[in-house]
Amino acid sequence: MKPVHLNGRSLTRAQVLAVAYGAPVELDEAQLPAVARAADFLAEQVRREEPIYGVSTGFGSNADRLLGSYRLRNGAGSDANNPHESLHAELQRNLIVTHAVCVGEPFAPTIVRAMLCIRINTLMRGHSGVRVETLRSLVAMLNAGVVPVVPQLGSVGASGDLAPLSHLAIVLLGGGEAFLGGERLPGAEALRRAGLEPVTLSYKEGLALNNGTAQMLACGVLALAKLEELADTADLAAAMTIDAFAGRLGAFAPQVHALRPHPGQVAVAAHLMQLLDGSTLADIPYHLVPRFRPWLPESWDTEEARELRFDIGWDWVPDTQRHGREKFYLRFRPFRGGKKHQPQDSYSLRCVPQVHGAVRDAIAQAARVFEIELNSLTDNPIVFPDAQAEHVEQQVVSAGHFHGMPLALAMSYVKAAIPVLASISERRLNKLVDPATNDGLPGFLIGNEDATESGFMIVQYTAAAIVNDLASRAMPASVYSIPTSANAEDHVSMGANEARHVLAMADDLGKVLGLELYTAAQALDLRRDMINAARALAKTASAERLADKVIGAPTARSGGMAVFLAEVDGLREELAASEAFRPGRAVEAAHAEIRASIPFMPFDRAMDGDVQKAVRLVQDGRVLAAARRAVEG
């Protein structure tokens, strides 16, 4: 893979992802003199015995403790492998070894590689005081495939991600644990096998290595990459459901959204129109849509038709019930089938641009914040070696760039948006399986002739359980600060927890969308096949035969039979003249991708394998890729 060039100023989310999944990194040689100047400046200030936080003082609540010129107690805290270690080196080493105290399961290697990439890029700004050789050692470790073991729990998000970043740095020192080639090893052994030597830290290097926002940012970048794909997948799931409902497209027209031009909303409306392009199910006249009736042996005349999984039918609207609706029945024939006589669909269909679009806007806001953070300095204190100043405090400035609140609040916004997207998906799924709301499809999307079948009933339960779980996890961690370091660090961001939650919640959102696509594919088959069965019958049968599918015909005694048959014949002629009904081209391609793995379910069967496949189709992006290829033509 092509190396990612790091200069401290131009790192992108796409490059972080490339490194996360295996790309090496390289340093911008033109920027290294600036890195070296800051390190040399700190060395000179130490020689001059200037008091500098984190260089010649302790950390956090120990910031008022100045390092002496000699050790008060021999052996206290010193490195047994380096008996001549200076107090300054001991200070930096102790910072790392005492701060590497995270617990829990390790982060995936992708997250840890992203953390390393982000940290190296930050240090390349030249305001942290690390030596060039230390940076080169970090790069060598990353490029050699040495992946520090970083347990997931332990950061409060200020001063940055101290504990997890210490787990990164401790391996550089020859401590901790690391993965190499998939094997979990002591850090020193991993370095040895990779042909690398441990590093002895110099002035401020421990603080520069563990004081920053790399963990929360790495988790956030990987989460956003998933969520951007899932936002498109959610649009696709909605489009397939809209086709399965023979829905109305007017709510997605560009002139509609020009009047309320939130960027995400406009984008989703346009995306839906792309996905539904070519559909002859959407906007179909109400009267052409039959409703489901249970299959009976006498439902169909031919052997071919008897293979169908359903019967179909309409209700006839007699003249006495058309009062006040005469104009409507001049435009639409007087038959009620599966599609209700109303010009608007339910909110979960009609308001997809407004809901999905708002989620996209939350993701876009987080992306804006992340792109700033990727090329920002996030440790403390900040070194300005070239500044003209009377006092060193004006050149080594203690500030708060390590505080993760910009990231934390951006991820709180995304965190609240995830269950919103999952919830509207579950509502569409529920609408598909409920015979009271699915516009004439069979209950739970199964024929159930013998009353023994549950169909897709419990798929909705699973989606509901996940949505509830997501909603219960959406409480923002950023609003609950717990002070640390003996109240020296008295307000923290909890951004690391926020980012971990968002990353995990993105995976569960994908499961809900997979369940909707699985269910929508079944519903789409039924809707398309029912309308096309009506069309096939109309092409071969008489008005009298089609009239057998209509409830409410007048009796011979009441008269009006001739008018009724004439109106049925009009319905027959319109159906017969229609082209075969089909979904949008992109929806059709996605449906075909689903059907390549999961066949239609005509009768109850074990569904656990189907559900797993549906979730994987979303996780690996295959169903979305099929739709995108169709859109691109």
Residue type at position 382: I
Of these residues, 53, 203, 286, 413, which one is catalytic?
Answer: 53
**What's CA 566's distance to the chain center, in Å?**
54
CA distance 271 to 587: 12
Residue with tokens 């050699």: 144
The DSSP H or E segment spanning 335 is: strand 335-336
Amino acid (1-letter code) at residue 288: L
**C-alpha–C-alpha distance, residues 526 and 507, integer Å:** 30
User: DSSP per residue over 221-266, as a string?
Assistant: HHHHHHHHHHHHHHHHHHHHHHHHTT---GGG-HHHHTTS--HHHH
For residue 285, give every residue at least 6 positions away whose Cβ sits within 8 Å of its Cβ, in sequence order, or none: 332, 333, 574
Q: Which residue has the tokens 């470790």?
A: 141
Strands 103-106, 151-153: pairing is: antiparallel
Asked if residues 392 and 331 have their Cβ atoms less than 8 Å apart, the reply is no
53 is annotated as an active-site residue: yes
Torsion angle defined by CA atoms of residues 243, 248, 249 and 251, in that order, rounded to the nearest 10 degrees = -130
CA–CA distance, 327 with 516 (Å, rounded to integer): 38
Q: CA–CA separation, 258 vs 9, rounded Å?
A: 36
Q: 616, 276 in Cβ contact below 8 A?
A: no
Q: What's the CA dihedral at 472, 474, 476, 480 to 10 degrees? A: 20
**Cα–Cα dist 461/449, whole Å:** 23
CA triple 478-480-485, angle to 5 deg: 100
Contacts of 418 (CB under 8 A, 6+ apart): 227, 359, 470, 474, 502, 505, 506, 509
Contact 315, 362 (CB under 8 A): no
Instruction: Please state the three-class secondary structure of 379-395 as a single string.
Output: CCCEECCCCCCCCHHHC
User: H or E element: which one contains 180?
Assistant: strand 177-180
The β-bridge partners of 179 are 147, 184
Question: What's the rounded Cα separation, in Å, for the pair 492 and 431?
Answer: 43
Nearest-10 Cα torsion for 522, 527, 528, 532:
140
Q: Can you tell me whether residue 293 is helix, strand or coil?
A: strand
**Exposed/middle/buried for residue 50 (C-beta within 10 Å: 0-12, 13-18, 19+):** middle
φ and ψ at 315, to 5 degrees? Answer: -100, 135
Q: Provide the annotated active-site residues.
A: 53
